[in-house]
Amino acid sequence: MAKEREISDLSPWEDAQKMIAKAGREGVNLVWDRLKDQTPHCTFCEQGLTCSKCVMGPCRINPKGPKKMLGVCGADADLTVARNFGRFVAAGAAAHSDHGRDLLETLAAIGEGKTTDYGIRDEAKLERICKELGIDVEGLSVQERAKALANLFFEDYGCRSHNVAFSSRAPQKRKDLWERFGCTPRGIDRDCVEMLHRTHMGVDCDPVSICLHAGRVALGDGWGGSMIATEVSDIIFGTPKPVKSTVNLGVLREDQVNILVHGHSPIVSEMILAATREPAILAKAKEAGATGINIAGLCCTGNELLMRQGVPMAGNHLMTELAIVTGAVEMVIVDYQCIMPSLVNVAGCYHTKFVSTSDKAKFPGGIHMEFNYNNAREKAREAVLMAIEAYSLRDPDKVEIPSKPMSITSGFSNEAILGALGGTPEPLIQALQAGKVRGVVGIVGCNNPKLKHDHVHVNLAQELIKRDILVLATGCATVAMGKAGLLEPEASSRAGAGLAEICQALGIPPVLHVGSCVDNSRILHICAVLANYAGLDISDLPVAASAPEWYSEKAAAIGLYAVASGIYTHLGLPPHILGSSMITTLALKGLDDVFGACFAVEPGPLQAAELIDERIKAKRVALGWPA
């Protein structure tokens, strides 16, 4: 049995600690309880040395000892690890890119006049993206432009294109490098399917070849599916601008109907928010005894509403169960990704309704209400009315809202960042050259119960800003930064002198919230903008990425597309590749010779900051800038 961990070892936050204790008193099983039950983990699985891809197995590969064990087919450790990792990345790329497809289908429905529930909020961005990608918009209506852009992006999902459309944003040196190593992303679905084919028994038996194709798959996510999701979301729902909001479980309201939106797609959450603002529905809430309806976000769909609408964030991945444990949540309504199946069981311990909305993400024991672009407004009203009914079932004796919310500033899209710089990247280039901003690091992604909740996120960010390194945050890292007070302009007092000067001059925090997980594509794009402006490749820039507490297949795809784009990337935990010294060496060193970037693995935030800082120093010295 695993050693018992103290609550203070699980999370540093007051709201989390109080709810973990409450769950214990009320007999609610949490993610940390289940982790304990699963520990110790299978060593073969942890190292990527198991294979169940055919029924000659399953096989366990032992690369050590007097008799090295091969799979029944003859696969050794290197091939087995590469196959497993390739499929892991393909699943992550497919998830983000399928999110993009849902948004693209909504854009197409707008363009074809098939929906009145959705429309175009940022017509200027629609026109700008059309022109960027070579669509002649002269004489076309907004609807016709939407249709034309949707048709172009649908080609990126197919099999016959030579490259995804947004790869045109990458510096020419980067595109030439991808071409040289056979990594140019050709089609999102095509490259994911090809990975499944390559890793079938008896197809690609070269571990390096499989890993290079994994890079191609990941690039199709970063410069394809995720970038499409980001840009189309902006077009449909509005491009984010700086906005004030709040974060932590204190955003829940004891006197209101609390609805939590969870998942990743703004298609559902935006419509739920719209329904809660309808006078007739608000009147129903007041009839039920509530003073109003309170929407709060969890994980990335929360980030989407936060960026565009200023909707408060209740929590990130490891807070999702704890939000329900407050006893104050009437409904959790979800779309897909990062939604623990356990939430249905936790909701069942309270009066909380758990509602799923996607035909690809159903949860036994929950309520399923399928949303699409024809019925979304109607279904949103139905769901909100159900939440109002649940309010009357709330048990006041079980309600505990554990803390006061923290203030945050969000909404830093690339347009907002460049707008603050006068519409050009020149001031940021000058600040980098002068060393006032020594580098830029994206801290992104998940929580993992193996690591103390949010600890690496926060301490890594604090250490980097002390060193005059600007931090961009996405996904679950957002909540961590917000709870630590790093998403407010006043946090510039915690930064180094150079970064503090820049932040104070612009009135911005030293950690900028740039969006949800798919919005890591904003970081790719801004890196490309800087590199193109300065006549450099992305790998020349003093930039890095970090996924300090990652857990998911999507995070593996994100990390690999960052590396394949030329961005040094830190991981707080290793992927399941340690069973192959070849693949491990390739990840930690060899990819530098291919992409000009590689991975680093370090769970300690201060040690990770040192690794990133050394890399940034090396890039600055190579450019002739002061270290």
Which residues fall in the annotated binding site for [4Fe-4S] cluster?
42, 51, 54, 59, 73
**C-alpha span between 423 and 437 (Å, rounded):** 19
Q: Which of 262, 350, 278 is nearest to 311 (CA)?
A: 262
Instruction: Point out the annotated binding site for [Ni-4Fe-4S] cluster.
Output: 264, 300, 338, 446, 476, 517
List C-alpha distances in Å: 251 to 2, 175, 193, 271, 475. Answer: 34, 45, 43, 20, 18
Neighbours of 221 (CB within 10 A): 33
The H or E element spanning position 367 is strand 367-368
State how far the Cα of 587 lies from the Cα of 180, in Å rounded to an integer. Answer: 19
In angstroms, the CA 494 to CA 459 distance is 12
- Measured CA to CA, the distance from residue 346 to residue 30 in angstroms comes to 8
CA 601 to centroid of chain Cα atoms: 19
Instruction: Give the single-character DSSP code of 624.
Output: T
Coil, strand, or helix at residue 246? strand
424 is written with which tokens?
């050009």
The alpha carbon of residue 431 and the mean position of all alpha carbons in its chain are separated, in whole angstroms, by 28
- The size of the chain, in residues, is 627
Distance CA 89, CA 82 (A): 11
Where do the DSSP E strands lie in 419-530?
439-443, 469-474, 511-515
Start-to-end C-alpha separation, the chain: 48
Four-CA torsion 556, 562, 563, 569, nearest 10 degrees: -80
Q: How far is CA 223 from the centre of its chain?
A: 15
DSSP-derived pairing of the beta strands 439-443 and 331-334: unpaired
Distance CA 514, CA 523 (A): 8
Q: Distance between CA atoms of 520 and 529, rounded to whole angstroms?
A: 14
CA distance 538 to 568: 10
Calpha distance 150→153 (Å, rounded): 5
228-238 b/e with 16+ CB inside 10 Å = b? bbbbbbbbbbb
DSSP string, 47-98: TT-EE-SSTT--EE-B-SSSSPBPPTT---HHHHHHHHHHHHHHHHHHHHHH
Q: Which residues are annotated as a binding site?
A: 42, 51, 54, 59, 73, 264, 300, 338, 446, 476, 517
